[in-house]
Amino acid sequence: MAQKSRRWLKRMGIALLVLLAVVAGAFAWYVSDYSHADDTARAALSQSVQGDISLVELEDGSLAFVPSSPTIGMVFYPGAKVEAEAYAPLLHTCAEQGILCVLVHPPFNFALLNVGAAQQPMAAFPEIECWIMCGHSLGGVAASSFTNEHAGEVDALVLLASYPACDLSNYQGDVLTIVGENDQVVNHDKLEAARNDLPPGARTLIIKGGNHAYFGNYGEQTGDGTATISHEAQQEQTAKAISELMGNK
């Protein structure tokens, strides 16, 4: 009887190891399949093209695009399974508006695995008077969750093709949702329903001709609509809207 029990336990142990190996393999495949930053994004990271914008790497690996004497800062959460560097052109454009921009690097390119990523960058720049949380797609969910947990420290929330997974209806800061007109990736029904989770003064900007992917520079996205404007045009309109949002700060 004892021998049968040992054989059974051995078989169960082998089965468990096989299952763990399968799960580990599936996870490794999942996280290795992501959208990469294109050449334009790589160029935006080059010191030689930064001009008046300084590029600083923080202790946690985040990249800060630092304009001269900023008082407004923005922490950016990338979209899921998108290389963080793909958003360098957008953040460089925002930095040209005088906003210090920090690009966080989530584990496995999945921002929801480190919602608290904004804390270290915020601590690294004590001179910043106002902070914006911003995120693209699922990165916007992470940004909204951080805002919900640190509402007193966040002055504004910007959601790019995104909506919160928490109730922010009582949030006292500014909220701006920006969506490309031709975005076919975001769930528009959920986007509309999520208005109830945002404060009454929350605003929405529809970028004519824009789509889901063009907030970043990582190529076309499966299932997305076709953009009729350039990456640069979509990102410039986004940066301008964010700057105008903070104009009264």
**Separation CA 175–CA 229 (nearest Å):** 25
- The average confidence (pLDDT) of the chain is 90
What six digits make up the tokens of 213? 């992917």
**Separation CA 211–CA 38 (nearest Å):** 17
pLDDT given at position 47:
59
* 3 state DSSP class of 190: helix
pLDDT given at position 52:
84
**Separation CA 209–CA 165 (nearest Å):** 27
Q: Is 219 left (phi over 0), alpha (psi -120 to 50) or beta?
A: left
**Separation CA 205–CA 174 (nearest Å):** 14
pLDDT given at position 29:
42
| DSSP-assigned beta bridge partners for residue 133 | 75, 157
Q: Between β-strands 63-66 and 99-103, what pairing exists: parallel, antiparallel or unpaired?
A: antiparallel
What are 27-45's pLDDT values in tens digits? 444 445 679 999 999 999 8
pLDDT given at position 248:
45
Q: Other C-beta atoms within 10 Å of 38: how many?
A: 17
End-to-end CA distance of the chain: 76
The architecture of the domain spanning 47-245 is 3-Layer(aba) Sandwich (3.40)
pLDDT given at position 46:
79
pLDDT given at position 31:
46
Q: What is the mean pLDDT of each run of 10 residues along the chain (249 residues)?
A: 61 59 45 80 76 90 95 97 97 96 96 96 96 98 98 98 97 98 97 96 97 97 97 98 83
pLDDT given at position 24:
45
pLDDT given at position 8:
59
Contact predicate 121/128, CB 8 Å: no
pLDDT given at position 17:
57
